[in-house]
Amino acid sequence: MRTIHAALDLGINLIDTAPAYGFGHSEEVVGRAIAEYGGRDRVVISTKGGLERRGDKLFRNSRRDVIRTEVENSLARLRTDYIDLYFVHWPDLDTPYEETAAALGALQKAGKIRGVAVSNYSIAAMERFHAITPLSAAQPPLNVFEREALRDIIPWCRERGIGTLTYGALCRGLLTGTIDESTKFDGDDLRKVDPKLVAPRVSQYTAAVRELEAYARQRYQRGIIPLAIRWTIDQPGVSVALWGARHPSELSPVIDVMGWHLDDEALSAIDRMLSSTIRDPVGPEFMAPPERASGADAKIPAAPI
């Protein structure tokens, strides 16, 4: 609550959440925080659907009836009568994209959602979706180390006037400068399987982080977090760079992000640093989507097309 209020005080006006974050708890906290703060019309709420909870697991399910139910549940948890941006969290390979798009288009016409969007979709999937219900935004991963979206998703969106809310600006904490080769991750932390954070690549990536940090201090008198976020925001076609905070103190870099830009010399210097330190680069492909359940027990894991 305090973190959300602090973000709003700083002028941040978009909050991205999802039922999958804490099985609805995140949406409840966001809804309560905005209600207590006041000024709903000054906050852009972005949330997601298409992941169905079964016990303590999530499965991709973007059928028409499921989407309708999820939107109503999100509206209740968020304490609002409309959602500014509603994303399909992951593509559901068992449900036609056209069915999901039509369902969201109907909810948009009813005033329940204002903008229809997708996350982790390929261009082929977005084209089918967009033909039925025009997309307002897409949400691909993007950061200094993971640039795949700059080659396809972001240019495609830019050509069509579709916004991009990129996630992972700090590469799951790697670009904060707080992770080194001795860092261990507990439980089901996704970073345990991130190839960038295990041998042999972890030493390459942490070396790159140290060089980036030194460059940010020397050239801009700023830390690596503002540099990493600024890099993402300054990419052509990027509308928003999302990153998370759990405590008000983690929002302090926001001030250092605004009011400046990386010039061509800086962008080239960053590229050279990465080329000299990272011998075996790897993207975000390891982030497998939740499984898709067909029937009571069937599980069909698959990467998004």
My answer on whether omega of the bond before 284 falls inside 30° of 0, hence cis, is no
Chain centre to alpha carbon of residue 15: 11
Read off the tokens for 11: 């002028």
Give catalytic residue positions. 21
Cα–Cα dist 288/284, whole Å = 9
Burial class (CB in 10 A: 0-12, 13-18, 19+), 184: exposed
Type of residue at 171: C
**Can you state the angle between helices 97-109 and 64-78, rounded to 10 degrees?**
40
Cα–Cα dist 290/29, whole Å = 24
Residues 301, 62 contacting (CB under 8 angstroms): no
Residue 9 vs residues 5, 13, 41, 42, 114: alpha-carbon distances, Å: 6, 9, 15, 12, 25
Q: From 12, 52, 26, select the one nearest 254 (Cα to Cα).
A: 12
